[in-house]
Chains A and B, each alone.
Chain A
Amino acid sequence: MDDFTLPGLKEPVEIPKIDQGAMAHSQPFSAAPDHQIALGFPGELVDDWHDKAIAKFGEILDSQRALKVYMDACVKCGACTDKCHYFLGTGDPKNMPVARQDLMRKIFRRYFTWAGKWLPWLVGAKDLTRDVLDEWYSYFHQCSQCRRCSVYCPYGIDTAEFSMAAREIMDHIGMGQKYCNEIIGKVHDIGNNLGLPEKALGATLEDLEEDLEDETGIAVRLPLNEKGADILLITPSADFFAEPHVDGLMGYAKVFHQAGVSWTLSSKASEAANFAMFIGSHDQMGKIAERIRDAAMELGVKRIIVGECGHAWRVAYNFWDTLVGPFDFLDPNYPIPQHICEFTYDLIQKGELTFDKSANDHITPTFHDSCNVSRASRMGDMPGGQFKIPRDIIKACCNNFVDMADDTIHENTFCCGGGGGLLTDDLLELRAKGASPRMGAYDQVVKDHGVTHLVAICAICKTQFSKIMPMYGFAMDDIVGVHQLVSNALILDGQETNEENNGETVDE
């Protein structure tokens, strides 16, 4: 699996030589029939896949006006060609956003435009053949739906919408992807992506409470299914399982404790993630969102706060209200929904959190803007809040902070390489190569400013970097979460400020 050559550390936006077909072999494992059927999709490729695919394509064009405009609007100006991290990392010209779009656009022209129906050779229209379909399966699973290309497109054409629609079409003819569809099934069956049952979740939280008490001397709680709590926290299930994610969860708990609010997790909604967005299924996205709304109503909470998860925040911030709203049972005096960073930031603004910044003095952090937070949502009540708020939190609990180059942060940020339903080992080559622009930008600040850690607010980014950073010569624990830094430095009321207890956990 590991027999590929990485592009190495280079200038993050250096344009590679064209390498035709370099990634044509890349494709994820197919979803098993039972994973497909559980989501209402055919178990395997149906006999009349051609007609079904075109019919589904037509349905999507009718219901999503933006996609239809994108199909027509491209003038082939070329502005997007060198903006995708997968193109920069692989050199495969089909990973240029315009080429990826054209995989779909040529079919659109053939079946949905007058010129393409009668003069296909004149307008680049092509029949939907099995070869085209296989190409879709490969290259629409080489798009992490990060939307960097759309920032540079003069028309704002969003390639993510193409890859979401293509995956939706493929699911409907029985050509689903294992990673996403198996996970969505687990959300319905067990409540989270990980498949963590309630009993195990409860035991894990108790274990973490012990650790928190050992560390701080204070009984910091991680409550589960507590009716009548004011706040429901939904967070990626990786926060209950993986490193460094779990340190962030402990950070949220400390912040809630210090704020003196009552809060709870839910076993029914023990997952913030909504992978249905990655497969372009509005139907599934609604069902997954619905169970969070149900859990909030059953528990009687007044607020919902979302933990460090990039695409979950996009779904919550942009789509919840349309999918399963209104959320009029929540307290309108607070943002609906609210990001954990907004919550912590507000407390910092009010001077309610005390930090011992020296606890993070062994760290010089830089911040990796996660794609779905930076380009598809917002935080706070000011433009650019999603860039400012996480950075201000880091600066409040760290003495050292350095930003990476301007064309690699904020709305120009590079994807980690594992977003959009691609964080799976069968796509490791793609993930490793696609991370090269971010790794190049990180390497610059490591060399020029002595940066030691990359900080993120997304479970996918954290897992991706802990896997990929060692391939580029960094350590797997050089990736940390914002609330992990908060946790290191936050001093709770009544906590003994014993230096040797602080800052130790980060390197574990």
Chain B
Amino acid sequence: MDYTVNEQTINADEEGYITDISTWSKDLADTIAETENIDMGDDHWEVVNFLRDYYEEYQIAPAVRVLTKAVKKSLGPDKGNSKYLYELFPYGPAKQACKIAGLPKPTGCV
């Protein structure tokens, strides 16, 4: 399930997670979001940017609780809860937001 962005083919696995994280770009994020039926607004980008920063430091996406706390800090307490994150990313902040951020899918019992 590959993506085409600016006439370039970006490889992705069966579920749409890109296979080489260095191929990520903001345009690609918009393209992935489109296939997920998500219209990327400022708050979506806030989450995606946080995920990418966290990944750069820790080589994994943050725990949902850590993400929630970070969102609370930057967007305020009314948005710092998992309910709001699920409004932004209905398929789950961990999986769907990771996909748009170009990060590997969290695996295991999650």
Question: Which residues of A does B touch, CB under 8 Å?
Answer: 29, 178-179, 182-183, 186, 192-197, 199-200, 203-204, 207-208, 211, 236-238, 240-243, 245-246, 271, 273, 309, 423, 425-426, 459-460, 462-463, 476-477, 508
Residues of B within 8 A of A183 (CB): 107-108
> Nearest Cβ distance between residue A340 and chain B, in whole angstroms?
16
Which of A194, A204, A208 has a CB less than 8 Å from the CB of B108? A194
Question: In the complex, which residue of chain A has the Cβ closest to the Cβ of B65?
Answer: A246
Cα distance A243–B64 in the bound complex, in angstroms: 7
Q: Is the CB of A203 within 8 A of B106?
A: no
Cα distance A344–B109 in the bound complex, in angstroms: 24
Given A186-B107, A243-B82, A203 and B58 contact (CB-CB distance below 8 Å) = yes
Which of A186, A200, A238 has a CB less than 8 Å from the CB of B58? A200
Mask of B62-94 contacts with A, CB within 8 angstroms, 1/0: 111110110000000000011000100000001
Cα distance A477–B64 in the bound complex, in angstroms: 13
Across the A-B interface, give the 8 residue pairs with the lowest CB-CB distance, nearest first: A193-B108, A200-B58, A459-B109, A238-B109, A242-B110, A194-B108, A241-B63, A200-B60
Residues of A within 8 A of B69 (CB): 207, 211
Q: Is the CB of B64 within 8 A of A463?
A: no
Given A195-B60, A200-B59, A243 and B109 contact (CB-CB distance below 8 Å) = no
Given A29-B14, A195-B104, A200-B59, A211 and B65 contact (CB-CB distance below 8 Å) = yes
Cα distance A240–B104 in the bound complex, in angstroms: 17
> Nearest Cβ distance between residue A474 and chain B, in whole angstroms?
15
Which secondary structure dominates chain B's binding surface?
loop
Interface size on B, residues (CB 8 A): 24
5 example contacts (A-B, Cβ-Cβ < 8 A) are as follows A195-B60, A237-B108, A240-B63, A241-B106, A459-B108
Q: Is the CB of B59 within 8 A of A460?
A: no
Cα distance A184–B63 in the bound complex, in angstroms: 21
Q: Is the CB of B63 within 8 A of A463?
A: no
Question: In the complex, which residue of chain B has the Cβ closest to the Cβ of A30?
Answer: B14
Q: Is the CB of B106 within 8 A of A194?
A: yes
Question: Which residues of B does A touch, CB under 8 Å?
Answer: 14-15, 57-60, 62-66, 68-69, 81-82, 86, 94-95, 104, 106-110
Residues of A within 8 A of B107 (CB): 179, 182-183, 186, 193-195
Residues of A within 8 A of B63 (CB): 204, 207, 240-242, 246
Residues of A within 8 A of B110 (CB): 194, 238, 241-242, 245, 463
Question: In the complex, which residue of chain B has the Cβ closest to the Cβ of A461?
Answer: B109
Cα distance A463–B109 in the bound complex, in angstroms: 6
> Nearest Cβ distance between residue B102 and chain A, in whole angstroms?
16
Residues of A within 8 A of B64 (CB): 241-243, 246
Given contacts A186-B107, A273-B108, 6 further A-B contacts (CB under 8 A): A194-B110, A204-B66, A208-B65, A236-B108, A246-B65, A463-B109
Q: Is the CB of A460 within 8 A of B60?
A: no
Residues of A within 8 A of B58 (CB): 197, 199-200, 203
Cα distance A208–B63 in the bound complex, in angstroms: 10
Q: Is the CB of A242 within 8 A of B66?
A: no
Residues of A within 8 A of B65 (CB): 207-208, 211, 243, 246
Given A29-B14, A199-B58, A193 and B66 contact (CB-CB distance below 8 Å) = no
Q: Is the CB of B15 within 8 A of A426?
A: yes
Q: Is the CB of A192 within 8 A of B66?
A: no
Cα distance A426–B13 in the bound complex, in angstroms: 12
Q: Is the CB of B60 within 8 A of A197?
A: yes
Question: In the complex, which residue of chain A has the Cβ closest to the Cβ of B91?
Answer: A425
Residues of A within 8 A of B15 (CB): 29, 425-426
> Nearest Cβ distance between residue B74 and chain A, in whole angstroms?
16
> Nearest Cβ distance between residue A36 and chain B, in whole angstroms?
15
The interface centre, meaning the residue of B60, B69, B104 with most chain A CB atoms within 10 A of its CB, is B60
Cα distance A5–B92 in the bound complex, in angstroms: 21
Question: In the complex, which residue of chain B has the Cβ closest to the Cβ of A419?
Answer: B109
Q: Is the CB of B109 within 8 A of A193?
A: yes
Question: In the complex, which residue of chain A has the Cβ closest to the Cβ of B68?
Answer: A508
Cα distance A463–B108 in the bound complex, in angstroms: 10
Cα distance A238–B57 in the bound complex, in angstroms: 20
> Nearest Cβ distance between residue A235 and chain B, in whole angstroms?
11
The interface centre, meaning the residue of B66, B69, B81, B82 with most chain A CB atoms within 10 A of its CB, is B66
Residues of B within 8 A of A476 (CB): 86
Question: In the complex, which residue of chain B has the Cβ closest to the Cβ of A476?
Answer: B86
Residues of A within 8 A of B62 (CB): 204
Residues of B within 8 A of A192 (CB): 108
Q: Is the CB of B94 within 8 A of A242?
A: yes
Which of B14, B104, B106 has a CB less than 8 Å from the CB of A426? B14
Cα distance A290–B108 in the bound complex, in angstroms: 20
Given A195-B60, A195-B104, A197-B60, A508 and B109 contact (CB-CB distance below 8 Å) = no
